[in-house]
Amino acid sequence: MKSEILKRYSNNPILIPNKNNWWESEAVFNCAILYDGKKIHMLYRAIGEYEHYLSRIGYASSDDGYLFSRRDGIAFNPTLDYEKFGIEDPRLSEIDNQIYITYVVLPDRPKKGPMVSTALATTGDYSKFERLGIITNEGMDNKDVVLFPSKLPSKDTLNGEKMTYFCLHRPSSWVGDAYGIDRPGIWIGEGSTLTGFETHSLLMKPEQKWEELKIGAGSPPIRTKYGWLVIYHGVSADRTYSAGAALLDLEDPYKIICRSKEPILVPTTQYEKYGDVNNVVFPTGACIINGELFVYYGGADKVCCLATAKISDLVDYIFQNS
């Protein structure tokens, strides 16, 4: 395996459990971020009780991308029936000057494990949230839904005259001959609204050993001059979670320009190898500041972490290892 291109922040983890706040006293991880040009806003998953293991969402912000200050109170609390057993793994996107949050919901907790869905909400201040409902179909067991930050030409119209919303998602139940894939992969969806993605196509399959069990989207796609940058996670046969990267065509996101064979970050440090779930690097947020890519990720389902790279160096790495 080649050396990783992402460099960990020397003062990782950037967020750890806060024993003074009961709702985030056990774990804080898998953080979504949105950079508004001046400040980085973060929504993070928090655990305050292991007996029921109910996830809530907290808020933090940073002026430099490294040091974060968090609110004491819960930002986003499960209140509706479809959120009854927790809200998890938020992702943030801004589309047409409106902030959207995709997040995993657990409406039930059956003996064989939860069948999860993904819901959508919107906010203006990260303290009040308007819920827009579940956006994945029942029974898909669908996580890792991320939104493209702008409309793009539809695949189904000539000359791309119709503009539609796009997302990436990972329906774990879509495997088998009917789907052309034998392990969960990343799909691309199109929709006339953000609450209704009508068409879906398989985009990426697990291919390498480090991702052979399944793959899923990490942060929402980032527009760069090289293409849409997709940071994703892959799970190996021994259930090690690592981060990978790919570039999609700016006008035709169904087209993969290149995809790295090697991961860009693997769990090697204490805070990535040992936690509530061992051996986990789980990217959920990313942005570019002055040519530097900031990737935010959960370490071992316990803490929030940061790794960085020059965007030009990362793109070179993806092409060289494609």
- Which structural domains are found in the chain, ordered by start? 7-321 (2.115.10.20)
Q: Is the pLDDT of residue 113 over 60?
A: no
Q: What is the pLDDT of residue 94?
A: 97
Residue 110 has pLDDT above 90, yes or no: no
pLDDT for the residue 112: 55
Residue-wise pLDDT for 134-178, tens only, equals: 999 887 899 999 999 999 998 876 556 788 999 999 999 999 999
Coil, strand or helix at 236 = coil
What mean pLDDT is predicted for residues 238-253? 97
DSSP output for 119-147? EEEEESSSSSEEEEEE-S-TTS-EEEEEE
DSSP assignment, residue 213?
S
Q: With contact defined as beta carbons under 8 Å apart, do 233 and 246 qualify?
A: no
SS3 state at 63: coil
pTM: 0.96
Predicted pLDDT at 162: 86
Residue 295 pLDDT: 98
Per-residue pLDDT tens over the stretch 54-89: 999 999 999 999 999 999 999 999 999 999 889 999
Q: Quick one: pLDDT band at residue 104, thresholds 50, 70, 90? A: very high
**pLDDT attached to residue 139:** 79
pLDDT of residue 137: 87
What does the longest C-alpha to C-alpha distance in the chain come to?
Answer: 58
β-bridge partners, 230: 246
Question: pLDDT grade, residue 1 (50/70/90)?
Answer: very low
Give the pLDDT band (50/70/90) at residue 3. Answer: low
Q: How far apart are CA 190 and CA 201, in angstroms?
A: 9
pLDDT of 109 over the 70 cut:
no
Among residues of the chain, what percentage have pLDDT more than 70? 96
Question: Higher pLDDT residue, 1 or 31?
Answer: 31
CA atoms within 13 A on the CB side of 60: 24
CA distance 119 to 311: 31
Can you give the pLDDT at residue 138?
Answer: 80
The reported pLDDT for the residue numbered 11 is 98
Evaluate if residue 125 carries a pLDDT over 70.
Answer: yes
Query: Looking at 41-50, 59-68, 113-122, 274-283, which range is the least confident one?
Result: 113-122
As a whole number, mean pLDDT of residues 30-51 equals 96
Relative to beta strand 69-70, strand 87-95 is unpaired
Looking at residue 2, its pLDDT comes to: 53
Q: Report the pLDDT averaged over residues 194-199.
A: 93
Contact (CB, 8 A) for 241 and 280: yes
pLDDT digits (tens, 9 = 90+) for 215-225: 999 999 999 99
